[in-house]
Structure 1
């Protein structure tokens, strides 16, 4: 329950600033660096860039395929815009929760509003989401290596053990990515998100350029009886692509002007930039390949095309720098969760902290690598991770907003009931979509006897 001071707060005090700014969070001896900014000194343009960094990434590769699942460009864009409204609404709800409780992280805002149980559930979801995203990143790296090998050696490259996907993925991940995951401080990667944005733009321009410079023969398959089911299959890609909510709370806490009016500028600007990039890629990718667009759009192009090779290189570099950051966040969340259950302490002796860090890092890394070797393409990973992203976007913010309105002791107004209705819509809708997306992902994975492969070499 909220304190007396918070219970007397008016509902949605639009321009009331927060006095408590951003503070770093300590997890054991590891200092979890959130956005690299000073307390309360983030300008509006800088905040826009941080949110765009958090949202734009690997989800872009799956957008043309998602448009195909949705039924084409018209239904795909309409679905994207519909969920974009819900995504923006939940970002405002999270900002308000952060404002009421002076929270500086997503999980602390949810726990302060909804209780310890929801806080633990949020930590678990963050861990699973980060782990699933790490799996998707290793799969993407494997996809790019397969096409590079195919361009250099030929279609039979995978019959050489040292060029086979399982070997190249494992060797590259162990030699390059694992050493970046072990350090206690990953400050040297604090600006790596810029690389992700650059890689995203390179992919977008590549898709557009290839559409205008080459002949294309898009494939359009007739919609079957399960057309609505296929439409639902496009939702995880949207959630995965636009998930920036975990990062949004610390960003809001660092704003110079912590008001809803200023936050609206940040959110609208960020989402317009992201939506433009995603939609352009989805539209031109679908126009080029139609329903034949693969879950990783770069896999649909000629392996020897230099434009596409440049895009592949940029994507691999982005994955190399992004994986350690996600692993670090997941490791910090796991330590926090274990400390809440009494299984460890936040500040162990240095030697014990080092052992704990190595054990968690090695377990995380090799587990994600093993799963990435078993999962055939990023579409499968995104289908599962996208459902969890839906919880960050809809379920937790919706319940938190509803709880704040119910706990407020001031007389209820039309605005109060409206906000409560919005919160319930987000929560109930999010729970339904999470169940539907997760069940469909499991069923599709079980039924899929002919999964999409990264190269024709693996078909023989």
Structure 2
């Protein structure tokens, strides 16, 4: 009955000359014989719910957490909280749309949803969007390693200034980190195996949050700043005042920071695929738990960081602490923890890119170790070359982030839902499909807004960071 509905459904029909993917056959077999465990194309899912939560939470957690206090300083506590709640709920709804679409047709790959919704062009678009977004995310993480790791080494060695030694060169360091840490983890066969490293990465960010809370009660406003940091320490009416609702020129830049803070959608279906006893409700619970956990960390980090520095908060929170006391041992350890966290996140982000490329270039092929390793090596080489050769790719990342993030969160899930869910189940004028259409339209609004901000930056000559994942 389900396949009959699909054959009549709007946009869900499959061309007669295209054979049903193995995933669909196995899914339908599962539907007809409920006692059999769901099988996928290359392996049986064995990842526990807890490990899946760690992996998805790690995929959500990004370098953008360092800019949330700055966002709060330009929105106020109340407006920031309202925006954060709205975006967390929208992200959870987006996961619901993906799982609902995947459940109807028995597909666990983002690219296959694109194929079912729009044919081969949809598959290509989905794969390209995932690849561009995650390459940008991986590069941003390695840029943090490139810029911060030499400073951490310098502080541990007790040096007051940089040197020409090779171990102080960020380009050499990212190659070493990639070869010794990232590559071995990226060669794991299954994403579920990274649950342990994801858990450790999240522990590092919890340590970062603990330090932010601790410092709130040991740094007092007005700040006593060290070094040559040129900021007035004289008390003023605004410097140490808590604001609950603020609208200024920078407020508009805070919205993309928050909007992109919950980007995890390329990882949702791969994690779903590897989940033990996969069901839509079980995976939605994983998404909700992960989003709630990250929402809590985001808000606590933002409010305690903001209540420490108020209007002196910089776009990168750790820089603000270093300007107060560059020799602070606790902040040095926090920097190291953040470096560990972003390094361990790179392999998690790499898995969806490899899956997208395999679906695009080698559709229907069984798992092969050589192909698995070669794709990982090529991706890591490309990302390392980007980080090494391009001195400032913030504008490139800004463009890709302004286009791919709204596409992954809003536009594609909404369009997939509209095209894949049969009209016999939900007509086009039904409330769920109208909501999905509005959701996709919201993505276009975010994309237009973000591109407009970048255009204003380029024309005015001011380079503001939009934050990001």
Please give the range of the TM-score, normalised by the shorter of the 2 chains.
0.7 to 0.9
What is the aligned partner in structure 1 of residue 38 from structure 2?
21
Aligned residue among 85, 92, 101 for 1:88: 92
What is the aligned partner in structure 2 of residue 237 from structure 1?
257
Query: Cα gap change, 1:258/1:142 in structure 2, threshold over 3 Å: closer, same or farther?
Result: same
Query: Cα gap change, 1:201/1:306 in structure 2, threshold over 3 Å: closer, same or farther?
Result: same
Equivalent residues, number: 416
Note if 1:399 corresponds to 2:415.
Answer: yes
What is the aligned partner in structure 1 of residue 123 from structure 2?
119
Deviation at 1:51, TM superposition (A): 2.7
Aligned residue among 373, 385, 389 for 1:370: 389
Q: Cα deviation per residue 1:42-69 (whole Å; 9 max; x = unaligned)?
A: 5555544443232223232221122234
Alpha carbons 2:411, 2:440 under 8 Å: kept: yes
Note if 1:429 corresponds to 2:429.
Answer: no
Deviation at 1:271, TM superposition (A): 2.0
| Distance of 2:284 and 2:188 partners within structure 1 | 31
Alpha carbons 2:55, 2:195 under 8 Å: kept: no
What is the aligned partner in structure 2 of residue 211 from structure 1?
216
What's the TM-score, normalizing by structure 1? 0.76
Deviation at 1:148, TM superposition (A): 3.0
| Distance of 2:52 and 2:300 partners within structure 1 | 24
| Distance of 1:123 and 1:236 partners within structure 2 | 23
List runs of 5+ in structure 2 lacking aligned partners: 10-27, 224-238
| Distance of 2:370 and 2:200 partners within structure 1 | 34
What is the aligned partner in structure 1 of residue 401 from structure 2?
385
What is the aligned partner in structure 2 of residue 59 from structure 1?
64
Aligned residue among 257, 271, 282 for 2:291: 271
Note if 1:258 corresponds to 2:279.
Answer: yes
Aligned residue among 74, 77, 91 for 1:73: 77
Query: Cα gap change, 1:252/1:445 in structure 2, threshold over 3 Å: closer, same or farther?
Result: same
Query: Cα gap change, 1:217/1:112 in structure 2, threshold over 3 Å: closer, same or farther?
Result: farther
Summarize the alignment of residues 242-321 of structure 1 with structure 2, pairs less than 5 Å apart: 242-253=262-273, 254=275, 256=277, 258-260=279-281, 262-302=282-322, 303-321=326-344
| Distance of 2:54 and 2:380 partners within structure 1 | 29
Alpha carbons 1:402, 1:420 under 8 Å: kept: yes
Deviation at 1:419, TM superposition (A): 0.5
RMSD between superposed Cα atoms in Å: 4.0
Alpha carbons 1:93, 1:398 under 8 Å: kept: yes
| Distance of 2:369 and 2:58 partners within structure 1 | 33
Deviation at 1:329, TM superposition (A): 4.1
| Distance of 2:86 and 2:371 partners within structure 1 | 49
Note if 1:131 corresponds to 2:135.
Answer: yes
Deviation at 1:355, TM superposition (A): 7.0
| Distance of 1:357 and 1:168 partners within structure 2 | 24
Aligned residue among 453, 457, 462 for 1:444: 457
